[in-house]
Amino acid sequence: MIADTLGRPLRNLRLSVTDRCNLRCQYCMPEEEYVWLPREDILSFEEIARLVDVFADLGVDKVRLTGGEPLLRKDLHRLVALLAANPRIHDLAMTTNGVLLAEHAPSLRAAGLHRVTVSLDTLRPERFKALTRRDTHARVLEGIEAVRRSGWPGLKIDTVVMRGVNGDELVELIEYGRKVGGEVRFIEYMDVGGATAWSMDQVVSRAEMLSELERRYGRIEPIVERSSAPADRFRLPDGASFGIISSTTSPFCRTCDRSRLTADGVWYLCLYATRGTDLREALRRGAGREELEGLIASPWRGRADRGAEERLGMAERRPLIQIGELKRDPHLEMHTRGG
């Protein structure tokens, strides 16, 4: 196991399998058209599995498939099967917008995917349409229902909370989570690359969410646990639990063991990092295992990133990256590096 300059282990790898998405969420992909990664640069499943194997040698035991929308990657179950066969990967998860989930859930589960997180920001079809600019809300709910029906454990529902958009749906979403057997996690709106319309006044803070929920449910207790998971978990008086990911107002950089590999093999040590390591180049020129290990171990040992904490310390906060710069370098986009 290797650790960075703050003692954080290399454990958690988020794998973006495509930069394409079938939604256009205001807070992530507000444009209709994007500069996409060149097709020939996209790593094959075998290349991804080879890199994951090197990462696993260095301590990674948690892998999350993401994107873009991971279910747009053809035959994703094949990659799942390759990764599930790696005995050192103890937790193999996927984050999806759920639109294509109903049709793919059985093959992904059979291939060995341990659990699924579905992003769902609203229970109201009209709001969904306004937020994502697509009319596929019913399909997302069908996807969640398919997971529930099959009894697939570990379902989570992730909701980005935005003032004036869905800030009034916290209670409804918790009740929905209860109904479908999924733990809801509320995410503070973040000023990541891609969120070009971000402003602090749209952020609903963790403190605000808790007081709103306490008004409805009564006293909420924090669940005390040792974990590097991004969500702080809480329990309602009736025993139901939920989480809050407060990256904007109360970042958790000090325990962050996450890094991100883009679909074209660039590795980032922080969601806010502007530079990454090109592992595809090394892989494709035939670099041996030792060289690949060095390319990963050495930047991780030198890692000092605390992106979200640094953002918090800024006097005046504006979107991280302006649209012109995002067009020049799509690697700066959240949808490229995987949320």
Q: How does 77-116 read in b/e, with b if 16+ C-beta sit within 10 Å?
A: bebbbbbbebeebeebbbbbbbbbbbebbeebbebbbbbb
> Is residue 335 close enough to count as binding ligand SAM by CB under 6 A?
yes
Rounded Cα distance between 117 and 156, Å, is 5
Among 12, 18, 86, 95, binds ligand SAM (CB under 6 A): 95
- Please, which residue, 168 or 221, has the CB nearer to ligand SAM? 168
Judged by CB under 6 A, the stretch of 20-28, 77-85, 174-182, 292-300 that binds ligand SAM is: 20-28
Q: Closest distance between ligand SAM and the C-beta of residue 97, in Å?
A: 3
Phi/psi for 253 (5° steps) reads -55, -35
Asked if 196 touches ligand SAM (CB under 6 A), the answer is no
Q: Give yes or no for residue 305 binding ligand SAM (CB under 6 A).
A: no
Give the strands of the sheet with 62-66, arranged side by side.
221-222, 232-235, 241-245, 183-188, 156-161, 115-119, 91-96, 62-66, 12-16, 258-261, 266-268, 277-278
Residue 96 sits in the site that holds ligand SAM (CB under 6 A)? yes
307 sits near ligand SAM (criterion: CB under 6 A): no
The three-state (H, E, C) secondary structure of 77-129, written as one string: HHHHHHHHCCCCCCEEEEEECCCCHHHHHHHHHHHCCCEEEEECCCCCHHHHH
Residue from the set 21, 42, 165, 320 that interacts with ligand SAM by CB under 6 A = 21
Task: Note whether 56 binds ligand SAM by CB under 6 A.
Answer: no
- Out of 160, 271, 320, 326, the residue judged to bind ligand SAM by CB under 6 A: 160
User: Closer CB to ligand SAM, residue 177 or residue 339?
Assistant: 339
**Using rule CB under 6 A, residue 169 touches ligand SAM:** no
Q: Which of 4, 19, 61, 69 binds ligand SAM (CB under 6 A)?
A: 69
The least distance separating ligand SAM from the CB of residue 17, rounded to whole angstroms, comes to 10
Instruction: Round to the nearest angstrom and report the end-to-end CA distance of the chain.
Output: 24
- Chain residues binding ligand SAM by CB under 6 A are 21, 27-28, 66-67, 69, 95-97, 119, 158, 160, 187, 189-190, 192, 195, 334-335, 339
